[in-house]
């Protein structure tokens, strides 16, 4: 539980808390969540600032992490490896092609040879590229695989946004890749580790329009991630303001939120852009529109906590795009401030959450 959570628990032990809760619940039932009273992030550390030197960013838009490092890509198309404790840049390189646009996603995952690699959806080049991790300052990246081209056919993309990596059961190698895309032909496509198209699901639109046989509609699926324990694919359907739970075969299990429920009350989303899965049946959702992190129980869809809010303060975020998790630390990519905020991640369920 974060510091905010603890203080709520302390307040809860005082006399009169139960009636107060009832009043609050009654008010919440008929009124929206008041963002003015949302709490700031309990920031453990913050690093990064506007600039083009190592350790600086120009509107960073995607973040991911392996066990020891953070990886951030920004509008200069540089991928930086950062020390999560100090924020120091330990390696970086620049994507070879970025004139037409910069990536909006970045994933770290295992490769077929057991090494850890970077999966980069090159959004405005309509393709996905797999690179070795940067290990030096400014050296050109080592390209391992590239697939995709412009189009709406199988294996083609419009704007790929994110890659989810399904590892083999032992977790050491890649078994399958899922790629989300938007741009009027929004869907999620599955590929084998050699970039061969397997299947796709979803169509563009809000719910209830169009002719998708399965009735799955996306509007800018900005992030996707795999819950290995539950064998599920979680999709941030950003412009429909909801999360989607799918089987690994692409069958819809449940929606959490709906296109007409955008808002800032607990359980509602406003442009959920980033996603981190602690593996305890919850999701940590980074909301671009609300400038906060929301913890969601994936089974019930219930909100388990709200962390942070929008603003220009030291402990507030401006248009955050992504979120990454290393152990008990959650790294919020505060894109509008070109920085990363470190907060304490909620404890795993059953661990005192």
Per CB under 8 A, 311 contacts other proteins: yes
Stretch that binds other proteins, among 11-19, 22-30, 199-207, 277-285 (CB under 8 A): 199-207
Give the chain as a 3 state SS string: CCHHHHHHHHHHCCCCHHHHHHHHHHHHHHCCCCHHHCCCCCEEEEECCECCCCCCECCCCEEEECCCCEEEECCCCEEEEECCCCCCEEEEEECCCCCCCCCCCCEEEECCCCCEEEEEEEHHHCEEEEEECCCCECCCCCEEEEECCECCCCCCECEEEEEEEEECCCCCCEEEEEEEEECCCCEEEEECCCCCEEEEECEECCCCCCCCCCCCEECCEEEEEEECCCCEEEEEEHHHCEEEEEECCCCEEEEECCHHHCCCCCCCCCCEEEEECCCCCEEEEEECCCCEEEEEECCCCCEEEEECCECCCCCCECCCCEEEEECCEEEEEEHHHCEEEEEECCCCCCCCC
Per CB under 8 A, 202 contacts other proteins: no
Per CB under 8 A, 243 contacts other proteins: no
Instruction: Tell me which of 60, 205, 257, 267 binds other proteins, using CB under 8 A.
Output: 205
Per CB under 8 A, 274 contacts other proteins: no
Subset of 37-56 contacting other proteins (CB under 8 A): 49-56
Subset of 156-195 contacting other proteins (CB under 8 A): 158-159, 182-184, 186
Instruction: Tell me which of 288, 322, 334, 346 binds other proteins, using CB under 8 A.
Output: 288
The nearer residue to other proteins, 170 or 211, going by C-beta atoms, is 211
Per CB under 8 A, 287 contacts other proteins: no
Q: How far is the CB of 291 from other proteins (least distance, A)?
A: 7
Q: How far is the CB of 22 from other proteins (least distance, A)?
A: 29
Count residues near other proteins (CB under 8 A).
42
Per CB under 8 A, 215 contacts other proteins: no
Per-residue x/- marks for other proteins, 120-159, CB under 8 A?
Answer: ---xxxx-----------------------x-------xx
Q: How far is the CB of 35 from other proteins (least distance, A)?
A: 9
- Residue ranges binding other proteins (CB under 8 A): 49-56, 75, 100-101, 123-126, 150, 158-159, 182-184, 186, 204-206, 209, 219-220, 222, 238-239, 270-271, 273, 288-289, 291, 310-311, 318-319, 336
């Amino acid at each position: 539980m974060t510091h905010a959570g603890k203080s709520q628990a302390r307040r809860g032990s005082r006399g009169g808390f139960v009636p107060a809760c009832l009043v609050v619940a009654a008010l919440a039932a008929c009124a929206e969540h008041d963002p003015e009273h949302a709490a700031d992030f309990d920031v453990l550390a913050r690093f990064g600032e506007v600039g083009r030197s190592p350790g600086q960013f120009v509107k960073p838009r995607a973040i991911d992490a392996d066990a020891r490092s953070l990886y951030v890509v920004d509008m200069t198309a540089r991928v930086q490896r950062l020390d999560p404790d100090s924020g120091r840049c330990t390696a970086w390189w620049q994507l070879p092609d970025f004139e037409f646009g910069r990536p909006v996603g970045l994933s770290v995952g295992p490769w077929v040879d057991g090494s850890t690699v970077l999966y980069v959806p090159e959004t405005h080049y309509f393709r996905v590229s797999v690179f070795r991790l940067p290990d030096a300052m400014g050296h050109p990246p080592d390209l391992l695989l590239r697939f995709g081209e412009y189009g709406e056919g199988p294996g083609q993309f419009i704007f790929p946004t994110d890659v989810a990596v399904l590892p083999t059961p032992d977790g050491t190698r890649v078994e399958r890749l899922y790629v989300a895309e938007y741009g009027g032909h929004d869907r999620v496509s599955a590929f084998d580790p050699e970039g061969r198209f397997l299947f796709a699901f979803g169509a563009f639109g809000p719910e209830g329009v169009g002719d998708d046989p399965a009735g799955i509609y996306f509007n800018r699926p900005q992030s996707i991630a795999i819950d290995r324990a539950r064998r599920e694919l979680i999709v941030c359907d950003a412009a429909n303001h909801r999360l989607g739970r799918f089987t690994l075969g692409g069958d819809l299990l449940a929606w959490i939120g709906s296109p007409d429920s955008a808002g800032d009350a607990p359980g509602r989303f406003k442009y959920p852009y980033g996603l981190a899965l602690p593996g305890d049946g919850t999701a940590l959702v980074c909301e671009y529109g609300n400038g906060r992190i929301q913890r969601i129980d994936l089974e019930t869809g219930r909100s388990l906590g709200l962390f942070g809010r929008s603003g220009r303060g030291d402990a507030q975020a401006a248009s955050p795009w992504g979120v990454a998790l290393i152990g008990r630390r959650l790294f919020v990519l505060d894109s509008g401030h070109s920085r990363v905020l470190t907060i304490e991640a909620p404890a795993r369920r059953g661990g005192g959450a």
